[in-house]
Structure 1
Amino acid sequence: MMNENKKPIPVTIVTGFLGAGKTTFLNKLLKKNQKKKFLIIENEAGNINIDGGLIDKKENVLIELTNGCICCSLNSELGSLLNSLILSNTWYDNIIIEATGMADPSEIIQLFMGNRAQQYFRLDAVIGLVDAGLFSSQFEKFTEIRRQIAQSDIILINKTDCVEEQVLTDLTNQIHAINPFAELHKTQYAETGEIKMIDSFSYKPGKIEKKISDFSSFKPAVSANNSHGINTFGFSIEGKLNVEKFSFWLEDFIYTNAENLLRIKGVLNVPDMKHKIILQSVSGHFQVLNGSEWNKTEPRINQLVFIGTDLNREEIEKSLFEFIN
């Protein structure tokens, strides 16, 4: 069976709206990493695959899923493919999933957050591409773009040569307001230079912890943004967390806000635990991991950030204060 003596295979999800430059980016990524063996899972909605013929395959393996959007057929076609990979004892250095431009990446992310999947695969990062020239008009019309931005770990603002500097500044600020955790890079022709695109370990507890600590809005109930219904706000509350009450509330909150909640990231202070507890949730699923050890001199502060659409900040704040004393 695959991976008995090997580390989980890193998985990179490439997302972005139609024409943002995903396939151009992927070709350049493969050319820069020719010593690695990639499995590329490429999806184009509709029966005729357009982008697949453009991908430079070389020594890599390309699998095309053309029967509908990859996020819609997740539990069947993509799930069966990954299960077959586990059983085949086939090894790759990296797996890259290029989703169709209309895909919501959360459905793909969820697949790799399960306990069984994590034995064989390690979600490395979600890389989102944005067309700088078309962003403003597309952002107004398509909710998919907003969800892609909110759930990306690395965002390439591509085709920057097509816009004026002030326009580029404004859209960069807008993207950062929606997702303050993402690394933002400005590119032309999807050229990333020396920027690290694979093996970025975006889901590693230490990296999540640092991003939360760096989040500039950590004051109790400070709203960072409300852009087209997307809220990004953080809470910072000192005290011990009542794990049992919080767990019940979290499961109920995620369930009742399944359509609205995009991400949760948090550092929690659990009584009698020497480690910080790292919480992350993506559209209905959540993980709890051990972070670094608490320093004896640092205040034990619970830090939580929520990203979603039409979330009620006041109700969340009220609930959190009930679980922390």
Structure 2
Amino acid sequence: MQASPSEDRVPVTVLTGYLGAGKTTLLNRILTEQHGKRIAVIENEFGEIGVDNELVINSEEEIFEMNNGCICCTVRGDLIRILGGLMRCRDKFDYILIETTGLADPAPVAQTFFMDDEVQEQLRLDGVVTIVDAKHVLLHFDDDQCQEQLAFGDVVLLNKTDLVSPEDLHDLEQRIRGMNAMAQIYHTQHAAVDMDKILDLGGFNLSRALEIDPQFLEPEYPFEWAGLYRLNRGTYDLVLQEGSDASMDVVCTPMQGDTIAAIEAMQEEMVLRFSDDPEFCEPGGLFKPDAALAQLHLDAPGEKRFRLRVPRQGIYALFTQHLPEEFDFTLQGSQSEIEPIASREYNAGHEHDDTITSVGITSPGAVDPDLFGDWLRNLLIEKGVDIFRMKGIINLDQEDNRYVFQGVHMLFDGRPDRPWGDTERYNQLIFIGRDLDRAALNGGFQSCLV
């Protein structure tokens, strides 16, 4: 799919790669190279706090950040909103770069440029660039996210080649070619690559994407179930037991029809609703069928009941983040349980690795550099295998410049950054990994403060 010479849609590059592969380093290179492009950047992070926009160098480009956790579940609504806002200031940029979180499947991001008519009219997906940590990728090679990132890459950058032997690098490249024979593969150190190898590629290969995933154009949704109910005016109970999550997002909305087709007609609108800020609802709380996103808190043990007040008789739909059977979810009236008259499941088989989590630390105060160095050194010795990624900005005691660091497993890089100047000083760290101990990480960092 080549762009025509008269193509006036804005090109978009999706930058993906597993945690710690070097995406931020590559992004900084793109923003500082003399390629003559004005680039708007959209970032997505997996984590409780966002630090990537602080690690990206100062530039004139616009940086937009989404902290959604799992990009594959929530990205489309947010991405459509941000892209729509960008196009209202079209004269300020001529290229868009989307950097996904390291745990992202790039397919739903790419889908946005084929599934949404307005986006498709104004933007074109130029390509997917996957950057690979040649030193550590084999630790995660069998993970679904890692394989999806490699499979969908139009360009694959084998980064950190100076850390592996030529034989191992050759074997790794052969494994990747076995998965994605069409990708252009380049060897890089510190993500150094000619810009013409990753920008203006001429178009994302939709045909190849469909060969990899025949369901590519069947989007993933941020909800897993929708059910239609015929309800009278009155108050009902949503009853849930303990399940796989500490909360569940739910939208209740009045409907015009009572069939599966009516549910499907509401799907795109619900994508946008699920990207809104939720209204929190504790057990015993009340929410209404007004299409607002409600987040039901389920962390208390035992049965939880939430009140649904219906203002008038009619057909209503419930769109739920998780499947009803995960929480023994039921809707109950005053006399009996109400059964849905029609329902549909979405994203069957979509699961997250619940052992992979993030711990964010934001703290004021000055840090003793010796204590901080000793703490990180011991942490990496003891837990380095389980820490996929760590990064942060530190206020070192009696230093005028920020100290920034990044790490992947047991590899660590830290250095002074730009001056604090008149800005308020702070410390911000993020750890992403498996079976992280939040209390121990918080306690360890606090012990480093002066």
TM-score (structure 2 length as normaliser): 0.44
Gaps of 5+ in 1: 213-261, 266-279, 287-325
SS at match of 1:41: strand
Instruction: Tell me whether 1:133 sits opposite 2:135 in the alignment.
Output: yes
CA contact 1:110–1:282 (8 Å) conserved in 2: no
Amino acid at match of 1:125: G
Give how far 1:136 is off. 1.4
Amino acid at match of 1:187: T
Give how far 1:118 is off. 1.9
**1:97–1:282: structure 2 CA closer, same or farther, 3 Å change rule?**
farther
**1:188–1:89: structure 2 CA closer, same or farther, 3 Å change rule?**
closer
Give how far 1:7 is off. 1.1
Distance 1:56 1:34 in 2: 17
**Identity between Structure 1 and Structure 2 (%):** 35
Q: In structure 1, what is the equivalent of residue 156 of structure 2?
A: 155
Alignment length, in residue pairs? 213
Q: In structure 2, what is the equivalent of residue 78 of structure 1?
A: 79
CA contact 1:17–1:102 (8 Å) conserved in 2: yes
CA contact 1:106–1:282 (8 Å) conserved in 2: no
CA RMSD of superposed structures (Å): 2.5
Q: In structure 1, what is the equivalent of residue 216 of structure 2?
A: 283
Give how far 1:86 is off. 3.4
Q: In structure 2, what is the equivalent of residue 271 of structure 1?
A: none
Q: In structure 2, what is the equivalent of residue 24 of structure 1?
A: 25
Q: Give CA deviations for 1:31-64 in whole Å, capped at 9, x if unaligned.
A: 1146321110011112311221111242110011
CA contact 1:40–1:95 (8 Å) conserved in 2: yes
Amino acid at match of 2:129: I
Q: Give CA deviations for 1:71-119 in whole Å, capped at 9, x if unaligned.
A: 3212322221122233455552110000000000000000001333221
CA contact 1:69–1:99 (8 Å) conserved in 2: no
**1:137–1:204: structure 2 CA closer, same or farther, 3 Å change rule?**
closer
Amino acid at match of 2:210: R
Distance 2:215 2:83 in 1: 20
Instruction: Tell me whether 1:12 sits opposite 2:13 in the alignment.
Output: yes
Distance 1:16 1:22 in 2: 7
CA contact 1:264–1:282 (8 Å) conserved in 2: no
Q: In structure 1, what is the equivalent of residue 44 of structure 2?
A: 43
Q: Give CA deviations for 1:275-318 in whole Å, capped at 9, x if unaligned.
A: xxxxx9672359xxxxxxxxxxxxxxxxxxxxxxxxxxxxxxxx
- 1:170-209 alignment runs, 5 A limit: 170-193=171-194, 195-203=196-204
Q: In structure 2, what is the equivalent of residue 101 of structure 1?
A: 102
Q: In structure 2, what is the equivalent of residue 264 of structure 1?
A: 211
CA contact 1:126–1:153 (8 Å) conserved in 2: yes
**1:84–1:193: structure 2 CA closer, same or farther, 3 Å change rule?**
closer
Q: In structure 2, what is the equivalent of residue 254 of structure 1?
A: none
CA contact 1:113–1:285 (8 Å) conserved in 2: no
CA contact 1:109–1:282 (8 Å) conserved in 2: no
Q: Give CA deviations for 1:246-270 in whole Å, capped at 9, x if unaligned.
A: xxxxxxxxxxxxxxxx6328xxxxx
Amino acid at match of 1:179: N
Gaps of 5+ in 2: 1-5, 220-450
Distance 1:10 1:53 in 2: 25
Give how far 1:163 is off. 0.7
Distance 2:204 2:161 in 1: 28
**1:59–1:161: structure 2 CA closer, same or farther, 3 Å change rule?**
same
Amino acid at match of 1:189: H
Amino acid at match of 2:51: I
Q: In structure 2, what is the equivalent of residue 258 of structure 1?
A: none
Amino acid at match of 2:217: G
Give how far 1:157 is off. 0.5
CA contact 1:160–1:186 (8 Å) conserved in 2: yes
Instruction: Tell me whether 1:110 sits opposite 2:111 in the alignment.
Output: yes
Distance 1:194 1:52 in 2: 21
**1:173–1:77: structure 2 CA closer, same or farther, 3 Å change rule?**
same
CA contact 1:128–1:156 (8 Å) conserved in 2: yes
Q: In structure 2, what is the equivalent of residue 119 of structure 1?
A: 121
Distance 2:172 2:47 in 1: 31
CA contact 1:70–1:78 (8 Å) conserved in 2: no
Q: Which has the larger radius of gyration?
A: 2
CA contact 2:22–2:133 (8 Å) conserved in 1: yes
SS at match of 1:263: helix
Distance 1:194 1:91 in 2: 21
Stretch of structure 1 that moved more, 108-117 or 192-201: 192-201
Distance 2:97 2:84 in 1: 16
